Structure 1
């Protein structure tokens, strides 16, 4: 995330024009590294569950704690706490690093500006959500390769495919994909048809919650 903030922000001022002022989005610039980081955090979430299935230790875990839903819930709680704190910290570091490279004629940006605190905190919230989404996919599919393929397909490939739909349909529909909805929380500038920061994040949370419900349902009913 920090590297992404430096790479994107360092060269932005040289191409900045007066026409860019209306669409200037400091959240998108300084937190652009979220796009790549989400795959790493999501993969960590997947491995948190599938690692035990691959090694066979999941049997020992379920023997020690027969309440399988409790096992998954505690994994999710610990993962959210640790990853959420780290990613929120990285989001703040990325913002300050990126801001330090945004020199004139780019407008100055600070944490006190409208929407900026939401975007910076939102970067950490979104990444924690992606990690949980990956964890629940891992619990559903139980195979690292399958869960990673599903994660990349939903978070990276699906928005691109939807954006290819003709006319404004693609842009409109892609906003309602998991990634398109979740992205709204760390952006400050929203298009006319976008959901907005908190409604978009609420929809993203609903996708993750639906995956969690399916994971809790299936983990209780299969042999392992």
Structure 2
């Protein structure tokens, strides 16, 4: 073989050499492209993660179903005589005169447990499976993960539970036809109360996310959620009457019930004040969750 031919074969680049050669300046180097972690990308990741879980669909469906079911049943089983003798409780379990809105929102307590548990599972569930380590490795700044989880579940719960409250009211309206407490959707305060129920339940869902990150245990966070929303008002009744009357309106569930109550009752907060107090509780839980997320290991 001539030396010149052998030399040309040695110098001719092979396929592997061509692949490792420097790319053309006009061709983008996709293999070495790096992506910056942004809040929007973290939000999109949490959105995909939320809808990929079967528990999200099931729990949201249960929350809306309970809201509609109990509201409709309460309207169709309403009896003026029974109401005069003691009556079913008003929104959030507080006493008071019944009205079409309070009957429609009878299921809010049950729905709040469902969306609150969903919020806990969305956050504490990652600690149970160990997936939180991968999440925080991908997002080293950590806090965007917490904010994204809250931003995902809050609007979803707001929209679906508001629609559920509207459906419960509309389904129950024929059952109250001719009754003194019957109301129309256009009556003063009705839409505000139904929308207020959605706002309250959305905040409960965010509260569940905060408790999940703060406690890092699904069982523990669910127990804390039930204790704060349901057990705490009952235990507070053991306090002296003067203390109870002063503190009771500021308990989370009582402040939340004021958000969607049609009429302000004696000793309760106004809707605006109730929203501010309950949002303050949620903000406090989020602050505690943020502090622990940043300061302690996963």
Q: Shorter-chain TM-score: what band?
A: over 0.9
Aligned residues: 223
Show CA shifts across 1:74-117 (max 9, x none): 11111112221111111111111122211223333112211111
How far, CA to CA, are the matches of 2:260 and 2:78 in structure 1? 19
Within the candidate set 149, 162, 171, 2:236 is matched to: 162
Within the candidate set 237, 256, 278, 1:182 is matched to: 256
How far, CA to CA, are the matches of 2:156 and 2:86 in structure 1? 41
When residues 171 and 26 of structure 1 are mapped into structure 2, their CA distance, relative to the original with a 3 A threshold, is farther
When residues 168 and 93 of structure 1 are mapped into structure 2, their CA distance, relative to the original with a 3 A threshold, is farther
Contact kept in structure 2, 1:25 and 1:189, CA below 8 Å: no
Higher-Rg member (1/2): 2
2:186 pairs with 1:115: no
Matches within 5 A, 1:66-81: 66-81=140-155
Q: TM-score by structure 1 length? A: 0.92
Aligned equivalent of 1:125: 199
Show CA shifts across 1:30-65 (max 9, x none): 111001110011000000011111111110011111
CA RMSD in angstroms comes to 2.0
CA drift of 1:171 comes to 4.6
Aligned equivalent of 1:198: 272
Q: Which deviates the most, 124-133 or 78-87?
A: 78-87
When residues 200 and 18 of structure 1 are mapped into structure 2, their CA distance, relative to the original with a 3 A threshold, is same
Aligned equivalent of 2:159: 85
Matches within 5 A, 1:31-42: 31-42=105-116
How far, CA to CA, are the matches of 1:77 and 1:167 in structure 2? 39
SS of alignment partner, residue 50 of structure 1: helix
Within the candidate set 50, 74, 93, 1:8 is matched to: 74
CA drift of 1:126 comes to 0.5
Structure 1 spans left out of the alignment, 5+ residues: none
When residues 18 and 151 of structure 1 are mapped into structure 2, their CA distance, relative to the original with a 3 A threshold, is closer
Structure 2 spans left out of the alignment, 5+ residues: 1-66, 88-95
How far, CA to CA, are the matches of 1:113 and 1:40 in structure 2? 30
Contact kept in structure 2, 1:24 and 1:189, CA below 8 Å: no
SS of alignment partner, residue 278 of structure 2: helix
